[in-house]
Structure 1
Amino acid sequence: MKTPGSIAVTDNDIVQKIYVVRGSKVMLDKDLAEMYGVPTSRLNEAVKRNILRFPEDFMFQLTENEFKNLISQNAISSWGGTRKMPRAFTEHGVAMLSSVLRSEQAIQVNIRIVRVYTRMRQLILDNKDLWMKMEKIEQALAKKDEEVQAIFKVLKNLLVGEEKPRQPIGFKIPGNK
């Protein structure tokens, strides 16, 4: 994969740069540009020239709050004084980038990114049964927790119950108190 002047990008490098924003797995323009070996401005210019290829479900611009949230979670380092909020590319947006960036490195990295996304999706599908079983166990524990709490509530009421004078135990002789 390594060509003269290129940067070797591993699967782990790619996975480290995938974030979840708005419920989608995305990669940020700066990270993609770095992997492709181009300036972020060049990547964004190519996107602007081909904006019709990038609908909202392929690419969107982060809000200031989303960006601050990623930084605060140590997902990304502070980028210093950014003029514009970064763009986030979904899996489909990353695939579409291959049609607007045509360098050898961009093509090779793009192929690798698509393969990583595919493996991630397959991993989720392969472990679907495990996820479902874990969810059932979690729900069962939640129900048990409610039942245990109800038992403790009854026990506490029994222990803290009102102090009423008790009737003497045993046989009562009529006329005696």
Structure 2
Amino acid sequence: MQIIRSIQNRIYEIRGERVLLDFDLAALYEVETKAFNQAVKRNIKRFPKDFMFQLTRQEWTNIKPEVNVAYIESIDNQNTTGNRSQFVTGSQRHRSTLPYAFTEQGVAMLSGILNSDRAIQMNIAIMRAFVEVRKILLQQNDIKEQIKELKERVGGHDVQLSHIYDALENLLDEKAAERKWENRERIGFKK
């Protein structure tokens, strides 16, 4: 479960897609980023634009702070779990080329080109992490729907309460008018 959480922390949303970056994948597969990217380039036909894309400078600049936070967290986890694969990520903070982003389908395609036992285990863990992220997002959407329904109900209750308040106010005004009528000074014959 710890590895799935670690993977989830490395999943970013870029261009409306949930992706893993090349250096994070290389770290998970315990290979160098350069070797990882070379293997991908040798099999580039397997990676259309909806499976893999290179980040723009602006996207990389925007996501870099998140990457640094994930890197620091992974170092903390490394100190407790002893996982050496985190070292590759550290060197990526100052890389000269823009990283590649792999969608869930792109990661699935990696299983066809990276065939070590570690790569197979990591692909299974990564697929599970994507499934968990999808479940979390579905739960969040359900919660959002429930909140929306509550707002609508409360809004409806506000209208109903307003009507009740107006009716009570009218009743109180009528009672006050009756009291004034009953307490008025009588004219005419007195008994």
Give the TM-score of the pair, scaled to structure 1. Answer: 0.66
Q: What residue is the counterpart of 2:115 in the other structure?
A: 102
Residue 138 of structure 1 and its aligned partner are, at CA, apart by 6.7
Distance in 2, Cα, partners of 1:83 & 1:63: 13
Q: Is the 8 A contact 1:29 1:87 kept in 2?
A: yes
Structure exhibiting the larger radius of gyration computed from Cα positions: 2
Higher relative contact order (CA 8 A, sep 6+): 2
Residue 72 of structure 1 and its aligned partner are, at CA, apart by 3.6
Question: Once structures 1 and 2 are overlaid, which stretch shifts more, 18-27 or 80-89?
Answer: 80-89
**Which protein is richer in helix relative to its size?**
2
> Aligned match of 1:123 in 136, 140, 150?
136
Q: Deviations over 1:140-166 (max 9, x none)?
A: 99xxxxxxxxxxxxxxxxxxxxxxxxx
The change in CA–CA distance for 1:106 and 1:134 in structure 2 (over 3 A counts) is same
> Aligned match of 1:92 in 105, 112, 137?
105
The change in CA–CA distance for 1:137 and 1:52 in structure 2 (over 3 A counts) is farther
Q: What residue is the counterpart of 2:35 in the other structure?
A: 42
Give the TM-score of the pair, scaled to structure 2. Answer: 0.62
Residue 132 of structure 1 and its aligned partner are, at CA, apart by 1.6
Q: Is the 8 A contact 1:53 1:96 kept in 2?
A: yes
> Aligned match of 1:23 in 16, 21, 26?
16
Q: Is the 8 A contact 2:20 2:102 kept in 1?
A: yes
Distance in 1, Cα, partners of 2:39 & 2:152: 48
The change in CA–CA distance for 1:127 and 1:84 in structure 2 (over 3 A counts) is closer
Q: Deviations over 1:63-107 (max 9, x none)?
A: 111001112455556835422100000111111111111111011
List alignment gaps of at least 5 residues for structure 2.
72-89, 155-191
Q: What residue is the counterpart of 1:64 in the other structure?
A: 57
CA root-mean-square deviation: 2.6
Give identity over the alignment, percent: 43
Q: Is the 8 A contact 1:29 1:40 kept in 2?
A: yes
Distance in 1, Cα, partners of 2:94 & 2:142: 46
Q: Which amino acid aligns with 1:123?
A: I
Q: What residue is the counterpart of 1:11 in the other structure?
A: 4
Residue 118 of structure 1 and its aligned partner are, at CA, apart by 1.4
Distance in 1, Cα, partners of 2:49 & 2:152: 35
Aligned residues: 134
Question: Once structures 1 and 2 are overlaid, which stretch shifts more, 93-102 or 118-127?
Answer: 118-127
List alignment gaps of at least 5 residues for structure 1.
1-8, 142-177
Q: Which amino acid aligns with 2:113?
A: V
Distance in 2, Cα, partners of 1:111 & 1:138: 41
Q: Deviations over 1:106-157 (max 9, x none)?
A: 110110100111122233335543222234567899xxxxxxxxxxxxxxxx
